[in-house]
Amino acid sequence: MVDLNIMLSILWVATMLIYLLGDVIRIFAGEFTPGEIEGKKVSQIAYLGMAALMLLPIVMVVLSVILPQPANSILSIIIASFFVFLNLAGIKGYKPFDVFLICASFVLNALTIYYASTIFL
């Protein structure tokens, strides 16, 4: 069996790649206008917030390897749950490819929560 910290790190890598794939497909599908989101100009503060948000899975890849248990599992459960709720909040407005990728990320987030919670069983 794979070490729990490595398993969580792998799940965070896969989650990060799904989010990245969604952004790449959105650009190639013509769903992207530079400097705008839904027709509105985006501020530098908003870009900073988006960067911080999308940095979370990347940071979790590293923290999953270096944090000891149970801190690793607790943080993974919190961050994975946050992403589930964040994606659920906006899923109505997504295109079919987005919905597909978000559902895939839900599966990975569920697996992250499951594996992270096994330390408490």
Pairing state between β 36-37 and 40-41: antiparallel
Strands (E), 25-91: 36-37, 40-41
User: Does the predicted model carry a pTM greater than 0.95?
Assistant: no
Q: Whole domain around residue 76: which residue ranges?
A: 4-120
**pLDDT value at residue 92:** 77
High-pLDDT (> 90) share of the chain, %: 79
Task: Count CB atoms within 10 A of the CB of residue 26.
Answer: 16
pLDDT tens profile 66-99: 999 999 999 999 999 999 999 998 777 788 999 9
Q: Report the alpha-carbon distance of residue 67 to residue 59 in Å, rounded.
A: 11
**pLDDT value at residue 38:** 79
AA letter at 72: N
Q: Residue 111 — pLDDT band, cuts 50, 70, 90?
A: very high
Picking from 74, 45, 46, 76, the residue whose alpha carbon sits closest to that of residue 59 is: 76
- Dihedral sign for Cα 75, 79, 84, 86, please: positive
- Count of structural domains, the chain: 1
